[in-house]
Amino acid sequence: MLDYRQLILDNLETIVLVLVGLLVLALFFFIINTVRLNQLHKRYRQLMRGVDKSNLEELIFKQMEKLKELQTKVETVQGEHSQVQKDIEKSLGPVGIVRYNAFNDVGSDLSFSIALLNREKNGFVLTSLFGREDSRIFAKPIENGDSSYKMTDEEKEAVQRAVQNLERNK
């Protein structure tokens, strides 16, 4: 039978050398890990100290406050933007103008019809008739691109031009 005690005693030098080698290897890895840990700890302290001597936690809280302020400003701007959009929808925008000679005895195209509409094709058409003896101005309401009053060909053309300008700007 094999005697394990005798085998261990015969190879004791080899076993001790292997254990010492493993111990030296473990010590080497321990030193390397300690150096790396110290470097990591130093970088961590620098990170926590921050650029302006404030720590990372303070920087995060400051950024959160700035973010809240920006969010409030964005919400305000969005509300104002919505109101401006509504105002634009109702404002007079597309314009159509037609100049013409209303009377044969007047030289230039001094008479005109101008249509001022909003985005919903509501507004008015203004007509000025210029003659040698007098001038007259007429206004007619426009709803959905048409008037409840009888319009002249020039007024219809002015409204049509305003609607075309509206379509072009969409």
pLDDT, tens only, 49-82: 766 666 777 778 889 999 999 999 999 999 999 9
H or E stretch including 134? Answer: none
User: How do beta strands 123-130 and 111-117 pair?
Assistant: antiparallel
Average per-residue pLDDT for the chain: 87
- pLDDT at residue 157, rounded to an integer: 93
| Residue 1 pLDDT greater than 60, yes or no | no
Domain boundaries in the chain? 95-169
Quickly state the pLDDT bin for 48 (edges 50, 70, 90): confident
| Residue 92 pLDDT greater than 70, yes or no | yes
Cα 16 to Cα 36: distance, rounded to the nearest angstrom: 30
String of DSSP letters for 1-59? ---HHHHHHHTHHHHHHHHHHHHHHHHHHHHHHHHHHHHHHHHHHHHHH-TTS--HHHH
- pLDDT at residue 15, rounded to an integer: 87
Cα 81 to Cα 97: distance, rounded to the nearest angstrom: 31
Q: ∠ at Cα 138 (132, 141), nearest 5°?
A: 160
- DSSP character at residue 112: E
Q: Are 95 and 119 in contact (CB under 8 A)?
A: no
Q: Name which residue leads in pLDDT, 122 or 90.
A: 122
Quickly state the pLDDT bin for 170 (edges 50, 70, 90): low
Q: Name which residue leads in pLDDT, 147 or 5.
A: 147
Tens digit of each residue's pLDDT (9 = 90 or more) over 113-162: 999 998 888 999 999 998 878 889 999 999 988 999 999 999 999 999 99
